[in-house]
Amino acid sequence: MARTVIYSWLLLLLAGNVFAQAPVLPDIAIASDKGVNVLSWTCQYDGIGSIAVQRSSDSVFNYTTVGYVRDLKKGQQAFIDGHPKAGNNWYRLYIGFSSDLTWYSNTVKVYIDSATLLNKGVIPPNDSLQRYASSINLKPEDIIATSSDVTPAYTPGNVTAAARPATTNNTVTPRTAPKLDLNIPEEDANQFTYIKSRHVFTNPFTGHVTLELPEDSRKTYAIQFFRQGDERTPVLDIPRIRKSKVIIDKRNFQGKGVYKFILYDGTNKMDEGYISIF
């Protein structure tokens, strides 16, 4: 039975009622559901120019920026990571002030099982995710971990220029992972409603698009990809496919985001749906 996945979303977690204030910087909290991580914190500072969210698999080195916080107003802030990696995901914030001071938050960790990523549906573009991030209100039972669960080797304290990031000596026993309920606004439900394709999907580990087609030497397949909401001109058109498994490098697309595909068996439409490029 085909499984209908709805990710149009997003994330109005019982909007309107703040159940508990997120931890105050330099601490941050994290929650997760279906391979989507939600970071939340309370910012007590004015004059912030940018907040970059950085992720690493080892907590000390190899941090890369996965996105920027959209709403920089003083108070509760949040960020949604729609494409975490399998295994440990360590996060920290790199905060830039209008005075040219820079500062790192403490770190927080969440573990994502590879099976969760394999079963994840299409995720909206990052801009869409962050547009909803400011509406998130996490309940205390939603929180998987906070940076106060980690014993830092360095505590930022007051804001200073080029502060070193917090590092980890040891961790406490992980909290039991809750069932975070990501409610979907009904008015947006149709935009990303689809039946998950068995033939065309994004590899959650590499980001490349995989085609798995029936093995039949007599058949020739074709596929077209379109920007979401624009089906007049394909951004990628492959008119002749004879192999049963094809990997399409994500660099063939025009950029990150959600793309619609139409798969043909000869001249007959065989399948259609959406894939995300990240």
Pair 149, 13 in one domain: yes
Out of 172-176, 216-220, 273-277, pick the least confident: 172-176
Q: Which of 146, 166, 186 is the last residue of a domain?
A: 186
pLDDT of 174: 45
Domains of the chain: total: 2
Chain Cα centroid distance, residue 45: 26
Pair 167, 210 in one domain: no
Pair 136, 224 in one domain: no
Pair 41, 147 in one domain: yes
- Look up the domain containing 273 and give its range: 197-277
Pair 104, 237 in one domain: no
Q: What is the pLDDT of residues 176-201, one digit of tens each?
A: 444 455 553 433 434 444 567 889 99
Q: What's the alpha-carbon Rg for the chain, to the nearest Å?
A: 21
CATH of the domain at 264: 2.60.40.10
What is the dihedral sign for C-alpha 222, 227, 228, 229?
Answer: negative
**Hunting for tokens 């498994």 — which residue is that?**
245
Cα–Cα distance, 66 to 52 (Å, whole number): 8
In-domain check, residue 102: yes
Pair 57, 102 in one domain: yes
In-domain check, residue 192: no
Q: Is 131 exposed, middle or buried (0-12, 13-18, 19+ CB in 10 A)?
A: middle
pTM, two decimals, is 0.68
pLDDT of 194: 53
In-domain check, residue 3: no
Pair 91, 138 in one domain: yes
Mean pLDDT of the chain: 77
